[in-house]
Chain A
Amino acid sequence: MAPKMNGFGIMPEDTRICVVMVGLPARGKSYIAQKAQRYLNWLSIPAETFNVGNYRRHDAPHPSADFFDTNNVEGERKRRAAAEAAVSDMLKWFKSGGVVGILDATNSTKERRKWVLERVASEGIEVLFVESKCDNEELIMANIRDVKTTSPDYVGQDPEKAAQDFRERIRHYEKVYKSINEDGDEDHLTYLKIMNVGKKVFINRIQNYLQSRIVYFLMNLHIRPRSVWLSRHGESALNLEGRIGGDAELSHRGEEYARKLPELVRESVGSDRPLTVWTSTLKRTIATARHLPKHYNQLQWKALDELDAGVCDGMTYQEIADQYPEDFQARDEDKYNYRYRGGESYRDVVIRLEPIIMELERSEDILIISHQAVIRCIYAYFMQKTQEESPWVPVPLHTLMKLTPRAYGTELQTYRANIKAVSTWRGKGSTAKHEDPVPEGGI
């Protein structure tokens, strides 16, 4: 593979796109921006978000609502300066090899959009405007609640006061806000307009494949609050022997975990609302999901099956090291790209998981019961782990993870079943079958 190749094989010099967010505050712009960045990074495309608010906070860390009044000359000047700084940093980043830069700001007037377009297009970078438009009060309130508790602007403030101030701020923006092409004179722009979280979508003048790919992904997003739960199957008979792959039954401790899982899930969900359960097509994940409440809908996905270890399927790490020493070493050197003889690499797994990720983005509460490598890839997507890190993430058995996507990142909670299991984690260069991982990032 050519070194510059990425998931799409689009060479950096081919296409560079600046995604310009548009919309009032509390319309999920930052959420969309960081989701897009996460998705592109996961597919090995260099992407970066430039949040104008972060630049503005240098000068005005905790501004009150009247800072955003268009009649406030000082506020206007500072906000303009922040936008300038963000755009010029972004252009610098493009020069160093960036492919998709995301400008996260309200860009709510025609003048501002014109300015951004001219600035960016003059560097030969394509501009894709992405507007989130929403008039559903409930959704806006949910977003306000989320923002006021997580936004750096309101750190340490009384939540009620913060919410009120934030609504005031929105009102200032509403006075000058123009939706894209509302007046019919922005038809030349390339844009995506998402109305009420994807109920209606309008796209205009998409120029190339990468743009269409981004648009496609964003259309799958929604901003309704939800969580994703991840669990490996319970310990299997092959886990006990330290063998990889196969299609074994659960061990008795694995069975114990399956019985405990409903309780663990209920504790984590905090209510009786049903989840949708996705398992792989292998016995051990289906058996693990067996005792979950009947009103949980269960689906099996072939795409959630464990990484195919090819000829090494059913072997221990020691056996692999003995029989295929070169392979064993090659795998440690570049675990993400290493493909087992007749089997798969982590990169292959990411490709086959793409439909799952899309489906996950579209869905609400989902519990996934799958396998180590697959969970690692999904985990890497939500937690933005690099290709170097993701294949080594420890995902212990008999542990439930709850991931909650938020505007400024994904929240992780872990729930241990306290049922003993072998460790299947293996450190770089080691062949030990029962090793304990170095604790990292909470799991």
Chain B
Amino acid sequence: MDTLLTAEIAANAPRYRRKSSTFIDGIHDVSDNQGKLAPAQLYSTMSGRLFHSGRIAIVMVGLPARGKTHISVSMGRYLSWLGVKTRIFHLGDYRRATVPGGHVPEDYFYPNASPASMMLRQKILKKCREDIYAWLNHENGQVAIYDAVNPTRSGRIALAKEFAKHDVQTLFIESYVDDQEILKENARNVKISSPDFHGMDPDEAASLYLKRIETKIPVFETMEEENLNFVKMINAGQAFYYNNVSFNYLFHRIVFYLTNLHIKSRTTFFVRAGPATDEDSYKADAPLSEEGMAYAEKMTETLLRHREQERQASIAQGGPDVPLRPLTVWTSTRLRTMQTAEPLKRMGFKVRQRSQMSQINPGVCEKLSERAIRALYPEEVKKHELDPYHHRYPRAESYHDLAVRLEPIILELEREQNDLLIIAHESVLRVLYSYLMHCSTMDIPKLKFPRDEIIEIIPAAYQNNAKRIHIPGLDPRTIPGSPEDIRIPVPGDPSANLPPIPGMSSPEPVDVAVPRPPEKIINNAKETVSDKLADED
């Protein structure tokens, strides 16, 4: 697949979005599985809308570098995960689609802009607004997230009125930041890749960038409109102010999510637990085997080396010479995951156990081979093949059950400010990965996490990026497939070694005998949106 072409299309045709598999973050995909349930959806309705909450427009408010896009995308991710039909409309996408390169006239944001600039602005706004109404009216959309600056009071009041006329409730979310440190950090993280700042001291570049925003958007009024429904998120989640948000279940849900969200950047790593002495038993909770101990050591070594390499690389590219963000480790309460974290714990890293992260319960399939399951429960196998995500074997949990059980973890994941290493069973990794990378429910039970790889998820405002880091020198017997998996047959699973992020066109065969470079980037979706990162919207 040609990523450059994809980026081109994505940038130039806002209504068209890529259809990816698990290849890259699917948060901007147009869903083609109408009627399919989302990972944590509890029920469905005929209208496709949930919670009797009607249609909602979430309107972002805030100057550039306040984390608006990050908030919109995260919220879209969470709502979709709950099953609420949500789409994000970045006004910047429309600007880029209308004006080559997104380079708007200097007076574009001025209140007294030239007629030509005004016309251009109107044209862009109209196109975006039309798409929002089309989504809500004709595609059963429930929530439209409108990501733009929306700087003026009068503009916001008019917008709420217009939406109300279309029978859409409006919730404004302002990201308000007056903490200079947070501002600089945001500016450094998001905007520094712009060629304008090339070779400049990062702090200086950040200050220059912030100053440029001020001249470019001279009028910005923070939200104080008594009659509008709004949430003001102050200094990246340190405090919140809510006005009139108490009338709609979905609003509350959104508010709850926001309470846990922060807009600082951090990385999540996923790894499997090492092999245990009694691989097949769910109930036994066996300790790590000898190979398992060796695995824990090697994984730890690879991870720490990788983090240091990343830091050096960032410095080499002109990044600041700052210490690494602290790393927190989460394991389940299963012995093998805790023991896998042991080397890190000895080194002084904080390890926390989360009981909800226990593996999927195999129920009657405990210790059964696939053949035995087919022989004993032919009816169940049939049902399972039809809907591997929602079906549960007798006494077992379905992936859906697991996702619902993991919801608190999702919110805590958003809350965590340190880098995070999650050591868990493959079934748990599948569900958490699907949240961060927005996978469809059909794909989730098929995701594979071989033991010789650390998955790194790097959040970016527009979409998350996934990397795989190879752990060299492992005993080949511990790597392939999923020996501690419950062996529930999964349809359409041609190869046990399908990586979670299938590579370009043909995935490289996993051959453990051939040493690979310690770090292998299968996909760095950053390239696909590089033009967006440098954009000022």
Contact = CB atoms under 8 A, between A and B. Distances in A.
A binds B: yes
A219 B43 contact: no
A443 interface: no
A87 to B, nearest CB: 27
A351 B52 CA distance: 18
Contacts of B243: 199-200
B354 A302 contact: no
Contact of B239 (A204, A215, A358): A204
Nearest to B243: A200
B405 interface: yes
B523 to A, nearest CB: 31
A209 interface: yes
B289 interface: no
Contact of A342 (B241, B353, B394): B394
A4 B355 contact: yes
Interface string A331-352: 0000000010110000000011
Interface in B62-78: none
Contacts of B358: 1-2
B408 interface: yes
Nearest to B354: A9
A296 interface: no
Interface in B400-423: 404-405, 408-409, 411-412, 415
B224 to A, nearest CB: 12
Interface in B205-241: 238-241
A359 interface: yes
A10 B352 CA distance: 11
Contacts of A429: none
Contact of A351 (B242, B255, B404): B404
Nearest to B412: A209
Interface string A191-210: 00000001111111110110
B259 A216 contact: yes
B411 A358 contact: no
Contact of A201 (B238, B242, B354): B242
Interface in A368-401: none
A5 interface: yes
Contacts of B408: 8-10, 209, 213
A222 interface: yes
The bracket for how many chain B residues form the interface is 35 or more
Given A2-B358, A351-B404, A220 B252 contact: yes
Contacts of A5: 355-356
Contacts of A200: 241-244
B119 to A, nearest CB: 39
A105 to B, nearest CB: 25
A84 B483 CA distance: 57
Query: Counting chain B CB atoms within 10 Å of each CB, which of A212, A303, A359 scores highest?
Result: A212
Contact of A202 (B44, B45, B240, B333): B240
Interface string B19-55: 0000000000000000000000011110000011000
Contact of A216 (B42, B44, B256, B404): B256
A209 B245 CA distance: 21
Given A302-B45, A342-B394, A203 B354 contact: no
A303 B259 contact: no
A176 interface: no
B249 interface: yes
Query: Counting chain A CB atoms within 10 Å of each CB, which of B246, B395, B415 scores highest?
Result: B246
A115 interface: no
B260 interface: yes
Interface in A1-40: 1-2, 4-5, 8-11, 14
A201 B245 contact: yes
A348 to B, nearest CB: 8
Contacts of B246: 198-199, 201, 219-220, 222, 362
Given A219-B252, A342-B394, A301 B241 contact: no
A206 B249 contact: no
A199 B244 contact: yes
B244 A216 contact: no
B379 to A, nearest CB: 10
B355 A352 contact: no
B415 A299 contact: no
A213 B255 CA distance: 11
Contacts of B352: 14
A355 interface: yes
Nearest to A6: B355
Given A2-B333, A199-B244, A352-B43, A209 B252 contact: no
Contacts of B333: 2
Contacts of A301: 52
Contacts of A208: 412, 415
Interface string A216-233: 100110100000000000
Given A2-B333, A9-B354, A209-B412, 4 more contacts: A5-B356, A339-B395, A359-B249, A362-B247
Report, nearest first, the 8 A-B pairs whose CB atoms are least far apart: A9-B356, A302-B43, A216-B256, A201-B242, A198-B246, A212-B259, A204-B239, A5-B355
Interface of A: 1-2, 4-5, 8-11, 14, 198-206, 208-209, 212-213, 215-216, 219-220, 222, 299, 301-303, 339, 341-342, 351-352, 355, 358-359, 362
11 contacts: A5-B356, A8-B408, A9-B354, A200-B241, A200-B242, A202-B242, A203-B242, A212-B411, A215-B259, A303-B42, A351-B404
